[in-house]
């Protein structure tokens, strides 16, 4: 079939335009837009929670990515902050009675209660299934508390050194930082077998562990700066993830991906690493502050200061075959940031110019 030059130009322009559209990915979305500060996000599936200052005190808010609905979880004049979420359970820090206590909220029943009160400092709650862990200063020591929402009781841990901090939990597996030996090490504990072991043996300090199934990540100072390391509990293999001479801190892991705060550009940016491919990528690239990343499946959330206050942003990575629990697409209210291909645009413009001016 014979095609006229004009038809060929139209076909070429449309092909290039469709190629361009196919390369646009809805990657980054702004979750909050209130001019007050929204900080410390956590995510489970399509639900994002954070600390919110819009009401003059600190409250916990929730956003459903699938529906675009935002919900204020806590109400009242006292601060509630630092939320963690797992399925229908939100845990946070509650200052209703002056000292930081641990508060839980059930999304199914809409009920809330404090599970610990006292004159000591409770902080950094984490949730996995029916278990909640946090750091406490009761009895004058820094220690870890484990609480079962099924039995409404604390789960006994082996006697500590008084220097346990920054707990994280997945199922019956826990990790924390232990500073009893002068340097901080990463400790592992199995709640089922009652076995405790030291995960790191380097003489430098290791901080801020996070766990997903049998994979543990942390912030490590053995190279003179803070790097991100990965340990496989099953194989016993340790891997250095970052090699840049700047600091990389506060890692989180889910499935095949690790995210962290990265200071190689002077300000903290959010970076992501894919374990199976060894690919590292920057999720943010502007001179403001980006921190406190969290990840679930293909979604990464963080605290972002590009608008002059702290907002919550989300990045939706391209779904990978075989990755666990990959969530669906973002809701319609999210504003996508496209990724253009500048080299295609001049070709499209030239083709359209020829078409509409009648040149052959």
pLDDT of residue 319: 67
Helix pair 5-23, 345-357: axis angle to 10 deg: 150
Rounded CA-CA distance 39/315 in Å is: 16
pLDDT of residue 8: 52
CA angle (271, 185, 132) in 5-degree steps: 75
Give, in order, the Cα–Cα distances in Å from 172 to each of 88, 165, 169, 318.
19, 18, 7, 30
pLDDT of residue 161: 75
The answer to whether 60 and 83 have CB atoms below 8 angstroms apart is yes
pLDDT of residue 261: 98
Find, among 228, 209, 212, 187, the residue nearest to 295 by Cα. 212
CA torsion angle 303 305 311 317 (round to 10): -50
pLDDT of residue 174: 97
Q: Which residues pair with 112 in a beta bridge?
A: 105
Find, among 70, 35, 38, the residue nearest to 52 by Cα. 38
pTM score over 0.75? yes
Residue 88, token pair as written in the block: 């229908």
Rounded CA-CA distance 83/50 in Å is: 6
Q: Is 195 helix (H, G, I), strand (E, B) or coil?
A: strand
Residue 199, token pair as written in the block: 């995960």
pLDDT of residue 57: 97
Averaged in consecutive runs of 10 residues, what is the pLDDT profile of the chain (360 residues)?
53 46 62 98 98 98 97 95 98 92 96 82 94 88 92 88 91 94 91 94 92 98 97 96 98 98 97 97 96 98 98 88 40 36 45 48
pLDDT of residue 10: 52
The answer to whether 316 and 298 have CB atoms below 8 angstroms apart is yes
Task: Name the burial class of residue 100, with classes exposed (0-12), middle (13-18) and buried (19+) by CB atoms within 10 angstroms of its CB.
Answer: buried
Residue with tokens 């090490």: 185
Find, among 140, 171, 182, the residue nearest to 233 by Cα. 171
Residue 169 CA neighbour count, 13 Å, CB half: 27
pLDDT of residue 345: 45
Count each helix (H run) and each strand (E run) in the chain, helices first: 2, 28
Tens of pLDDT, residue by residue over 190-243, are 999 999 999 998 889 999 999 999 999 999 999 999 999 999 999 999 999 999
Q: Is 138 helix (H, G, I), strand (E, B) or coil?
A: helix
Q: Which residues pair with 239 in a beta bridge?
A: 230
Find, among 178, 201, 122, 182, the residue nearest to 154 by Cα. 122
């Amino acid at each position: 079939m014979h095609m006229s030059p004009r038809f060929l130009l139209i076909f070429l322009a449309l092909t290039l335009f469709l190629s361009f559209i196919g390369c646009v990915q809805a990657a980054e979305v702004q979750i909050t837009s209130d001019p007050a500060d929204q900080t410390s996000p956590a995510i489970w599936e399509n639900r994002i929670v954070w600390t919110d200052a819009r009401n003059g005190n600190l409250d916990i808010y929730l956003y459903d990515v699938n529906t675009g609905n935002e919900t204020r979880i806590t109400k009242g004049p006292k601060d509630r902050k630092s939320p963690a979420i797992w399925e229908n359970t939100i845990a946070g820090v509650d200052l209703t009675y002056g000292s930081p206590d641990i508060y839980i909220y059930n999304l199914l029943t809409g009920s809330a209660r404090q599970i610990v009160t006292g004159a000591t400092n409770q902080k950094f709650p984490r949730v996995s299934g029916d278990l909640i862990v946090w750091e406490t200063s009761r009895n004058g020591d820094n220690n870890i508390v484990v609480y079962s929402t099924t039995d409404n009781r604390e789960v006994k841990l082996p006697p500590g050194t008084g220097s346990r901090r920054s707990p994280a939990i997945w199922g019956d597996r826990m990790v924390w930082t232990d500073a009893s030996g002068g340097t901080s090490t990463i400790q592992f504990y199995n709640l089922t077998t009652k076995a405790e072991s030291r995960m790191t043996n380097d003489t430098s300090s290791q901080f801020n562990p996070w766990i997903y199934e049998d994979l543990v990540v942390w912030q490590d100072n053995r190279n003179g700066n803070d790097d991100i390391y990965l340990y496989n509990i099953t194989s016993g293999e340790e891997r250095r993830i970052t090699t840049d001479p700047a600091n990389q801190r506060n890692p989180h892991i889910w499935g095949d991906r690790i995210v962290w705060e990265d200071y190689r550009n002077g300000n903290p940016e959010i970076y992501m690493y894919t374990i199976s491919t060894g690919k590292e990528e920057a999720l943010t690239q502007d001179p403001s502050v980006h921190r406190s990343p969290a990840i679930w499946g293909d979604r990464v959330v963080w605290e972002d200061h590009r608008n002059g206050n702290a907002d919550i942003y989300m990045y939706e990575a391209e779904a990978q075959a075989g990755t666990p629990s990959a969530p669906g697409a973002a809701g319609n209210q999210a504003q996508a940031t496209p990724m253009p291909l500048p080299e295609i645009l001049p070709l499209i413009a030239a083709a359209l110019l020829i078409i509409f001016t009648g040149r052959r």
